[in-house]
Structure 1
Amino acid sequence: MSDEIVFSIIMPAYNAEKYIKESIQSVVSQDFISWELLVIDDGSFDKTKDVVTSFDFDNRIKYFYQENSGVARARNLGIEKSRGEYVAFLDSDDLWVSSKLSRVYLELVDKPTVGLLYSNYYCFTDDRNEKVEAVHYPYFNDSMYESLIVLDYIATLTAVVRRTVLIELKGFDESFFGTEDWDLWIRVAEVSEVFFLDERLGFYRIHSGGISKNIERQIRQELAVIEKHRVKCSDNVYSAAKILLKVKQLRGLVSARDIRKNFVLALAGLIALVIQNARGALYLVKVLYISCFLKKY
């Protein structure tokens, strides 16, 4: 293997002092050594910088600061600074298994037409009293691109993308908040192959500070992604995506214990969508495995 960097790992961080040390350590512990870790501090005002610079003994770890501009801009800055052939993503509260990079490398060198590789992973809670196996099947139907428009089933901590593809696509769309990764996976699937590695190579942390906890904002952002790609997908795919989005909204309302007017209206809207878009509903069934659907949502 040459001295060139193989993997650039981008880790955005915002007030991440509580978890980031463990996340960085999971990178340092990799059994594959040709990597650089680019930590992009998105305007933190806690001790994030102190924690990161405590790893100064490893010159593969680089710290960059930007005024608070959001995770999409932070990741794009990381892409701009990256030098590796492949770009991997790890948030400042998630973890990798020690063989993550070595397993991914073996697959990618053997599959030169793959632009994006993703894998399975585990979920765990803050107190680690519970570890739940995540169920993310690769929804292979006629089109990976269309399947991704229906549902984002690629977890960012598992994704590795060829840097040339990221440069071609100009990185993340900074107009999105919390769904910029989903939009990028869709665009990658449009121009290159996507490969699913059925191994659990990471740990996704579930805690109250996650940006996806604001259900209504998340729904609006997901709708924006669907509408962005509306022109390039079939009516069935579009309808299936809208139906699933309405289901998510219903689940969010139930979780919030709102079983009054808004819930009734959302339920009525879902029924109307299914009736008006029977083919979309059938397509949704085709794309999703019921067991995964029930576990994930």
Structure 2
Amino acid sequence: MAQTYTHWECLVVDDGSTDATEVQVKVYTEKDSRIRYVKRPDTYPKGSNGSRNYGLYLAQGSFIAFCDDDDFWLDDKLEKQLAIFKEHPDVGLVTGNIEYVNSDGKRTGRVIKQTGNHGDAFESLLFKNGLSMITPVLKREVFDKVGLFNTDFVIFEDWEYWRRVAYYYPFYALPDVLACVRKHDSNTSLIVTEAPFEQYARYRALTKALLKWGKHRFTKADKQLIAKVEAKRYRQLLRNHCLGVKSKVNLFFKILKYDYKGAFVLLKAVFL
């Protein structure tokens, strides 16, 4: 409601809350017709991506942005980002930096830069996720071309999507802080561990999902690039988290039981 750009609609998608969300939101829907409260129907899977996809189904705007329930935008976020689309009509996504706030919403001064996601970001996003969910604004046409969010993902669900967007569209990264992310003991990101096998399994799932999506899209060169970056990622994993031959061998055999093809991808990464 405090946005300096005022031509927006806000869809609050309730993913089965058990608190007083509906009562709280009604206070705002009665004040502002731009705000709409809906409950995710059972035809959409539970979870963040199911709710986002339902919101996309209902949304009427030419541009789409997301804001999870514990984060917030700065007042000039939309104004700054929408101006970029006018200046650069080829861009599909505009992002910016985030700043962490504490559980009370007080800004900490810790800024996470997302300026590396500028221009052709496909290769860099193959290796590492440099985007938050709260910051980007995307053209509606992006979802028509790329598809909806993958509801199979709970962790890295945003990373999986940004890769697909970057395959088709250039990004624009503003140097400004546009949104704030609240850090507290209930953050979903805290369930992500540094255990080597879990790191491997999460990254391998991203690669499989991307290759499945790109089956009829990717060229031979695209697939070679994906394989090259995957090998680079595994070499980093082994170098940083599997010190010594024994730990590397143990990881290989653990992966072999889980995904024999992936085990040989890992082995190939070691020797190439």
Identify the TM-score tier after normalising by the shorter chain: 0.7 to 0.9
Q: Is this contact kept in 2: 1:120–1:202, CA < 8 A?
A: yes
From 80, 84, 91, the counterpart of 2:61: 84
Does the 8 A contact of 2:102 with 2:182 survive in 1? yes
User: How much does 1:242 deviate?
Assistant: 2.8
Distance 1:244 1:102, change over 3 A: farther
Unpaired runs of at least 5, structure 1:
1-27, 252-263, 280-297
Query: TM-score if structure 2 supplies the norm length?
Result: 0.77
Give the structure 2 partner of residue 227 of structure 1.
Answer: 208
Contact 1:125 1:131 in 2 (8 A): no
Unaligned runs of 5+ in 2: 212-221, 253-265
Query: What are the equivalent positions in structure 2 for 1:58-97 lying under 5 Å apart?
Result: 58-66=32-40, 67=42, 69-97=46-74
Alpha carbons 2:63, 2:137 under 8 Å: kept: yes
Query: Structure 2 counterpart of 1:72, which letter?
Result: N
Contact 2:63 2:140 in 1 (8 A): yes
Match of 2:16 among 43, 67, 81: 43
Q: What is the distance in 1 between the residues matched to 2:166 and 2:70?
A: 27
What is the alpha-carbon distance in structure 1 between the residues aligned to residue 140 and residue 129 of structure 2? 21
* Structure 1 runs, 4 residues or longer, greater than 4 Å off: 244-248, 266-270, 273-279
Residues paired across the two proteins, number = 238
Q: What is the identity, as a one-letter code, of the residue corresponding to 2:189?
A: S
Q: Give a deviation string over 1:51-73, Cα, whole Å, max 9, x none.
A: 11110210101111025711001
Mean Cα displacement is larger for which, 81-90 or 220-229?
A: 220-229
Per the alignment, do residues 244 and 120 of structure 1 end up closer, same or farther by CA in structure 2, a change over 3 Å counting?
A: farther
- AA partner of residue 233 (structure 2): A
Taking a change above 3 Å as real, the CA distance of residues 246 and 32 of structure 1, as seen in their structure-2 partners, is farther
Change (3 A) 1:89 1:139: closer
State the distance in 2 between where 1:29 and 1:96 align.
Answer: 9
Aligned counterparts of 2:271 and 2:167: Cα–Cα separation in 1:
26
TM-score by length of 1: 0.71
How is 1:197-216 mapped onto 2 (pairs within 5 angstroms)?
Answer: 197-216=174-193
Residue 135 of structure 1 and its aligned partner are, at CA, apart by: 3.1
Partner in structure 2 of residue 130 of structure 1: 108
Q: How do 1:145-294 and structure 2 match up within 5 A?
A: 145-216=122-193, 219=199, 220-229=201-210, 232-234=223-225, 235-244=227-236, 250=241, 265=247, 276-277=269-270
Say what the alpha-carbon RMSD is for the aligned residues.
3.1
Q: Work out the percentage of aligned pairs sharing the same amino acid.
A: 26
Amino acid at match of 1:239: A
Alignment check: 8 A CA contact 1:41 1:65 kept: yes
> For 1:124 and 1:278, how far apart are their aligned partners in 2?
43
Question: Is the contact between residue 149 and residue 229 of structure 1 (CA under 8 Å) also seen in structure 2?
Answer: no
Structure 2 CA distance for aligned equivalents of residues 212 and 247 of structure 1:
23
